[in-house]
Amino acid sequence: MGETQMKNIEADVVVIGAGGAGIPAALSAVENGAESVIVLEKRKTVGGNAVFANGIFACESLIQRRAMIDAPKDEIYKKAMAWHRYSSRINPRILRAYINKSGDTISWLMKRGIEFEIGAQWRLNYHQNPCWHVIKGHTPLGRFAPVVKSLTDECREKGVQILLETTGEKVLRGSEGEVVGVIAVQDGQKFEIKTKSVIITTGGFMGNKELLNKFFPFYDESFGGLVVPHEGDGIQLAAEAGGALDDVATLVREHGLTFTKDHSLGQAARQPNAIWVNKKGQRFLDEASAEQSQICSNAIIRQPGKVAYAVYDEQMIEEVMEKGWFLPHAPIRPIPSDLKEILQNEVANGGEVKISDNWDEIARWIGAEPNVLKATITEYNSFCDHGYDEDFVKERRFLAPLCKAPYYVIKFGVLLIETIGPVRINHNMEIIDKNDDPIPGLYAAGVLSGGWLSDDYCGEYLFGSALSYSVNSGRIAGENASLYIKEK
């Protein structure tokens, strides 16, 4: 980009970050009257983490209505608020604005020819089975990457300029505090874009250890992360422009096999009939609660070294190979017929799996006292014999003794999916300052902004909400930004 060209850049709205929130924000801004929109994207391609996603949460959508799925927004909102216990981290208006918009967003996508997969399992009433498979229910054909492509193509057709490999570096404010421009960097060259409105949508900060340590007191560098490790640029962009930050953000996490080479083994740790022990060789939870992965990651975080070991006997492994993985709410049980081979390969390749007939050897591998591990197994087997888990009341149907050697042990830990927050906004997606007053012309959307989740991801009622919130908040920010410039 040449010097002269740089001086002339001007736009009604500048969006910083072309991912799950940024692309919908740009499109909404144009749809709602912004005449010129520029999107800055730091990487070579658009999409951010949104290209990896499967589906999005929505309620009262056309798809749900057609499939006779009862997913009332008022009730889901109230349940989600109760789930979050009116946490001080939650702004109920933000959650409400997002949930209210979600059904309309499905129509907004369908108008663009996007089709959604909907199977027989969706035809349940969520009152009978309030599980995420039912409530989420909106998986575009081909998952989300084609959606990103389609919305990006439309942006370009409508004249949105998408500048790739261009980093948004600073938001400029005028004498009355209003947004007046953005400093961006391309090919090492800085340039200014004059604008009245900026939407920051730079995603999370999983790639920034300093920020992870700062915003999560329990963060540990042993946690594994997924895919695109964003650096959290938007936090500094917002803070430098006067935006307030929450002290703590939300870490969306699961338990997962962060230590084995074959991540397809992730499901192994979730089998309710296995037992989980910590480094001391002690059980620490009802393993059948593993379906709710956030709960399990919380339990693992409390263990020494923040790791856990799933233990199976030969019979359990054979049962999985015969009947498939147990997935509580899924209609099918995928069968990993080569499971034993996968586990043996892990051992051969130095992965974090142990197979042995000998509990002393297993205990030494874990780092536990052999007597402690053996006592755990003996006690658990006696619970199975009596049909009652005295320690954690695991459901009787999942109580199976570990008695047929060899025993299989898989080490696993916490897997980070996404960070949420800590930029403070209001329900119009305006970034607010320390006095809770909006900064004129400055918006944030997507996972950079908090206030719609408390400490944990509300998987029960809003599964698929990281991306769903991003798309919906992006749309709301785009609408409000164009309204703002019309009024200016």
Ligand X SMILES: Cc1cc2nc3c(=O)[nH]c(=O)nc-3n(C[C@H](O)[C@H](O)[C@H](O)COP(=O)(O)OP(=O)(O)OC[C@H]3O[C@@H](n4cnc5c(N)ncnc54)[C@H](O)[C@@H]3O)c2cc1C
Among 9, 22, 151, 316, the residue binding ligand X under the rule CB under 6 A is: 22
What's the closest the beta carbon of residue 168 comes to ligand X, in angstroms? 4
Q: Is residue 395 a contact partner of residue 388, using CB atoms and an 8 Å limit?
A: no
Q: Which residues partner with 312 through β-bridges?
A: 408
Among 272, 336, 422, 446, the residue binding ligand X under the rule CB under 6 A is: 446
Name the residue nearer to ligand X (CB basis): 29 or 466: 466
Name the residue nearer to ligand X (CB basis): 108 or 359: 108
- Provide the 3-class DSSP secondary structure of residue 161: strand
Q: Is residue 355 a contact partner of residue 407, using CB atoms and an 8 Å limit?
A: yes
Name the residue nearer to ligand X (CB basis): 104 or 319: 104
> Which helix or strand (DSSP H or E) is residue 299 part of?
helix 293-301
Measure the CA–CA gap between 117 and 123, rounded to whole angstroms: 12
Among 56, 81, 198, 277, the residue binding ligand X under the rule CB under 6 A is: 56
Measure the CA–CA gap between 114 and 62, rounded to whole angstroms: 13
Query: Per-residue DSSP letters for 430-474?
Result: EEE-TTSPEEEEEEE-GGGB-SS--SS--HHHHTTHHHHHHHHHH
What's the closest the beta carbon of residue 139 comes to ligand X, in angstroms? 8
Subset of residues 112 to 171 that bind ligand X, contact rule: CB under 6 A? 167-168
Asked whether the bond before 334 is cis by omega within 30 degrees of 0, the reply is no
Name the residue nearer to ligand X (CB basis): 168 or 272: 168
What's the closest the beta carbon of residue 236 comes to ligand X, in angstroms? 9
Q: Binding to ligand X by residue 48, rule CB under 6 A?
A: yes
How far apart, in Å, are the Cα atoms of 104 and each of 24, 116, 277, 473, 479?
13, 14, 45, 12, 14
Name the residue nearer to ligand X (CB basis): 40 or 212: 40
Among 64, 91, 202, 482, the residue binding ligand X under the rule CB under 6 A is: 202
Name the residue nearer to ligand X (CB basis): 274 or 453: 453
Query: Per-residue DSSP letters for 74-131?
Result: HHHHHHHHHHTTT-TT--HHHHHHHHHHHHHHHHHHHTTT--EE--GGGGS-TTT---
What's the closest the beta carbon of residue 220 comes to ligand X, in angstroms? 19
Q: Binding to ligand X by residue 478, rule CB under 6 A?
A: no
Subset of residues 452 to 471 that bind ligand X, contact rule: CB under 6 A? 464-468, 470
> What track of x and - describes contact with ligand X for positions 213 through 252 (by CB under 6 A)?
-------------xx--x--x-------------------
Query: Per-residue DSSP letters for 372-438?
Result: HHHHHHHHHHHHHHHT--TTT---GGG-----SSSEEEEEEEEEEEEEE--B-B-TT-EEE-TTSPE
Per CB under 6 A, the segment of 75-83, 199-207, 302-310, 344-352 that binds ligand X is 199-207
Per CB under 6 A, the segment of 36-44, 327-335, 394-402, 450-458 that binds ligand X is 36-44
Per CB under 6 A, the segment of 289-297, 347-355, 442-450, 477-485 that binds ligand X is 442-450
CA 38 to chain centre: 27
Q: Is residue 422 a contact partner of residue 235, using CB atoms and an 8 Å limit?
A: yes
Name the residue nearer to ligand X (CB basis): 42 or 411: 42
Measure the CA–CA gap between 458 and 79, rounded to whole angstroms: 10
Name the residue nearer to ligand X (CB basis): 16 or 34: 16
Q: Which two tokens stand for residue 304?
A: 């020494």
> What track of x and - describes contact with ligand X for positions 2 through 21 (by CB under 6 A)?
--------------xxxxxx
- Closest-by-Cβ residue to ligand X is 19
Q: Which two tokens stand for residue 282?
A: 């002690």
Looking at beta carbons, which pairs linking 391-399 to residues 24 or more positions away fall under 8 Å?
Answer: 391/283, 392/283, 392/285, 392/286, 393/286, 394/272, 394/286, 394/287, 394/288, 395/272, 395/286, 395/288, 398/272, 398/273, 398/287, 398/288, 399/273
Which residue, chain included where needed, has tokens 């206030």? 451
Q: Which residues partner with 10 through β-bridges?
A: 194
Q: Which residues partner with 356 through β-bridges?
A: 407
Among 9, 14, 42, 270, the residue binding ligand X under the rule CB under 6 A is: 42
Name the residue nearer to ligand X (CB basis): 359 or 457: 457
What's the closest the beta carbon of residue 409 comes to ligand X, in angstroms? 27
Q: Binding to ligand X by residue 189, rule CB under 6 A?
A: no
Among 417, 423, 444, 485, the residue binding ligand X under the rule CB under 6 A is: 417
Q: Binding to ligand X by residue 69, rule CB under 6 A?
A: no
Q: Binding to ligand X by residue 423, rule CB under 6 A?
A: no
Size of the residue set binding ligand X (CB under 6 A): 39
Q: Binding to ligand X by residue 432, rule CB under 6 A?
A: no
Name the residue nearer to ligand X (CB basis): 42 or 427: 42
Name the residue nearer to ligand X (CB basis): 19 or 137: 19
Name the residue nearer to ligand X (CB basis): 140 or 438: 140
Interface with ligand X (CB under 6 A):
16-22, 40-43, 48-50, 52-56, 167-168, 201-203, 226-227, 230, 233, 417-418, 446-448, 464-468, 470
